[in-house]
Amino acid sequence: MQKHNQKEHLYKLLVIGDLGVGKTSIIKRYVHQNFSPHYRATIGVDFALKVLSWDAETVVRLQLWDIAGQERFGNMTRVYYREAMGAFIVFDVTRPATFEAVTKWKEDLDSKLVLPNGKPVPTVLLANKCDQGIDVLMNNGIKMDQFCKENGFVGWFETSAKVMFPFLFKCFSKHREIGFQN
């Protein structure tokens, strides 16, 4: 319930990455607390809304945009990215190719969207399906912190849409000043 003196913020967050990495599952898990093991490619533009009571004065409405089947082309339109305040780029820890695609997604995003202050949109990297082991991360000896620094990610998390994972939005709290200008 919105209280009288509360301010409401609406934020568009993108969830991008290759087909089958778990974007739809992550959003479902976060918004509806459930997980469906049945594969279903999303068709059509889709988004889910998560309402957070940020603090006594602030309500945050997160609009999580799910790529709807077009990820097979490896890029999205400028219009799709428009006015997003943050992005998650997801890869599947069991499929190295999806990790290799991460930088391509980041480039696509940064080439089509910048914040009003001219900076790139804060982007968090999600290493999903970590319930399956973290072979990709281990085998490649990838230093994720360094990878994030070099490729302009604000951070990374191991996630699993299958088991409960703690949160998605918390990582953006560090970057609140970006989102709470208006």
> Which positions lie near Mg ion, rule CB under 5 A?
23-24, 42
What is the nearest approach in angstroms of ligand GDP to the Cβ of residue 92?
7
Length of the chain, please? Answer: 182
Q: 1, 4, 37, 56: which one contacts ligand GDP (CB under 6 A)?
A: 37
What is the nearest approach in angstroms of ligand GDP to the Cβ of residue 35?
7
What is the nearest approach in angstroms of Mg ion to the Cβ of residue 61?
22
Query: Contact between 95 and ligand GDP (CB under 6 A)?
Result: no
DSSP 114: B
Which one of Mg ion, ligand GDP, none interacts with residue 6, CB within 5 to 8 A by kind? none
Burial class (CB in 10 A: 0-12, 13-18, 19+), 20: middle
Using CB under 6 A as the binding criterion, the count of chain residues that bind ligand GDP stands at 17
User: Which residues make Cβ contacts (< 8 Å) with residue 182, sequence separation at least 6?
Assistant: 9
Instruction: Give the residue among 169, 166, 177, 181 at the shortest CA–CA distance from 54.
Output: 169
Query: Contact between 98 and ligand GDP (CB under 6 A)?
Result: no
Residues forming a β-bridge with 120:
114
User: Which residues make Cβ contacts (< 8 Å) with residue 40, sequence separation at least 6?
Assistant: 24
Distances (CA, A) of 116 to 35, 43, 113, 120: 36, 31, 9, 9
Query: Contact between 68 and ligand GDP (CB under 6 A)?
Result: no
Query: Contact between 132 and ligand GDP (CB under 6 A)?
Result: yes
Query: Contact between 131 and ligand GDP (CB under 6 A)?
Result: yes
Q: Which residue is nearest to ligand GDP (CB)?
A: 22
Query: Contact between 21 and ligand GDP (CB under 6 A)?
Result: yes
Which residues contact ligand GDP (rule: CB under 6 A)? Answer: 19-25, 37, 39, 42, 128-129, 131-132, 160-162
